[in-house]
A = this chain, B = another copy of it.
């Protein structure tokens, strides 16, 4: 039961080889058995999930399928507002985020037939370092207990990797979809800014937040993206661009892809195991016909500096009530990260917006003129142990998280689509990730390349043992 992909399951439900009730019950049983140790969920909605499963089963019997995810059990990071369920945002407050409207992405998945299992664990306000004590328990890396699962969508990574849910939504402001995907050996996609609605999701930073799918295979991520992408009148930042058929696009021949490998920044100070894994991934891609071109990218440290100004200012504005009136409710690291926002000037904020926009234009004009995608590592080292991640002062923990997310963060400020796919393991079996980064709205190309790599390399067929 835990071996299903979304694509295979949806097909099996359509052809009545398995029923929505059967798979939902299996997921709930697995959650009940494994989650007390894994800590992926904050809220499990067994009753609601079973009710939905029976309704979807009735649909199947009536020959009335809702959509491509009919009967597929999913779960969502606990900052998505799903009517009827609490939204803690990783805090101890049951209803921290009471959006005026339901999460559009979840509503679209539900409309496509998906079943909601519950809400997934995350660091406090998605701002806490992922080694921090989580209010709802420390999510365990299914490949290496006692190790972090990445963050801030920590529970999303664990739930999918451990087969508790077939797919999940995460949010990604500096890497929070891709880091847990890489740490947990699954696929995670941060789409282009404006591709997926953020309506009904607690914001961290209006300029940098992205909602993205997390799943076991690239095909599953493509399937989820196709459902959640597209304009939403409730989110003015969403694009009107038509949404391509990402799944059909996977089987388009790859052709001679021009692969940009940055000479600067992205391969500096990596754990040697990461370097080796990504280098062999690039060789696999070359074997598929890709042509490697070394490229120089505009200084990612500057993009990250801009992002930091934006994220801090926007977080301060978003969380002002709790930060000013009830600061004791926040973890020290989270408070520190928000409070610095009150000291940023509007001038610096606006110049940071302009500078990152200019760097994005330059990157697209200069680099994506020469190459079709960039390939870089997702994480600079395998998932650290909780002992290592929790050590030191609050400031040290924040800095450590900054170093761990240094390869994902620039693509939030630049707004580019970035797919993380598993690319092997450390010697002791912790997963590693490869990022495939495209030009704006070129998700289809990144997914196609990721899919071809996945088929050739075979990493995504592996499952964590001992579950």
Residues of A at the B interface (CB closer than 8 Å) are 240, 309, 313-314, 316-317, 320, 341-351, 354
Contacts and interface: CB of A to CB of B under 8 A. Distances in A.
Given A313-B347, A317-B346, A345-B345, 11 more contacts: A309-B346, A313-B350, A316-B346, A316-B347, A317-B354, A341-B346, A342-B345, A343-B345, A344-B345, A346-B346, A346-B349
A373 to B, nearest CB: 23
A136 to B, nearest CB: 29
Contact of A320 (B317, B343, B347): B347
A466 to B, nearest CB: 48
Interface class of chain A by DSSP = helix
Contacts of A354: 317
Contacts of A351: 317, 320
B240 A350 contact: no
25 contacts: A240-B240, A313-B347, A313-B349, A313-B350, A314-B350, A316-B346, A316-B347, A317-B346, A317-B347, A317-B351, A320-B347, A320-B351, A341-B347, A342-B345, A342-B347, A343-B345, A344-B345, A344-B346, A344-B347, A345-B345, A346-B346, A346-B348, A346-B349, A349-B349, A349-B350
Contact of A317 (B313, B342, B350): B350
A316 B354 CA distance: 13
Contacts of A345: 342-346
A180 to B, nearest CB: 28
A309 B346 CA distance: 9
Contacts of A346: 309, 313, 316-317, 341, 344-346, 348-349
A356 to B, nearest CB: 13
Nearest to A239: B240
Nearest to A349: B346
Q: Which 4 A/B pairs are nearest by Cβ-Cβ distance?
A: A313-B346, A346-B349, A317-B350, A344-B346
Nearest to A313: B346
A119 B344 CA distance: 39
Contacts of A320: 347, 351
A166 to B, nearest CB: 35
A317 B350 CA distance: 7
